[in-house]
Amino acid sequence: MKVFVDTNILVAALAEKGDRSEQARRILEHESQVYTSLLNIMELRTVLTKKKGIEQDEVEDTIREVVENLEIIIPDSSDFIESNKMQIENLLYPQDCIILQVADSQDCELITFDKELIENKGRSPEEFSK
C-alpha cells in the first residue's frame, strides 16, 4: 500500500507529543511506501520555523533526514489543471486540492488530521491504523 502524508502528519511526528504524534510516527514507520509533495515539505519548513519556533538550521537538518525516507512528488501542470476542476466542485483550499490530486495521481491513500480533507477522500490516522 502506498500512502501520501499531509503536512500535519509530518508536523505531528516531528514537533508534537501525545497521541497525534504517536499516530503520525506509526504512519511514517509503516511498511508502506510513504509519499508527500514538495509543497508539503515547503509548508513543513514554514510551520516548524514560524509556528513551532524551531531554528531554521535545525529545521533544514530535520527536513534533510525526513526526505531521505519519503518519496517527494513535484506536482506538474496536469495536477494543477485537475486541482482547479476539483476546487470548482468542492471549494477546498488550493493547496488541499493539489495534495488530493497528487495523492490520487500516485494511487496513494492520503493520510491527514484535516477533517475537510478526510471528508474528500482523505483518511484519518485512526482509520489508516485499523
Residue 4, CA distances (Å) to 52, 54, 88 in order: 23, 25, 23
**pLDDT tens across 13-69, in order?**
988 788 888 899 888 887 679 999 999 999 999 999 999 999 999 999 999 988 888
With 0.85 as the threshold, say if the pTM is over it: yes
Structure confidence at residue 130 as a pLDDT band (50, 70, 90) = low
CA 14 → CA 10, 23, 124, 127, distances in Å? 6, 12, 18, 21
Kindly list the domain boundaries of the chain, sorted by start residue: 2-129
Architecture of the domain made up of 2-129: 3-Layer(aba) Sandwich (3.40)
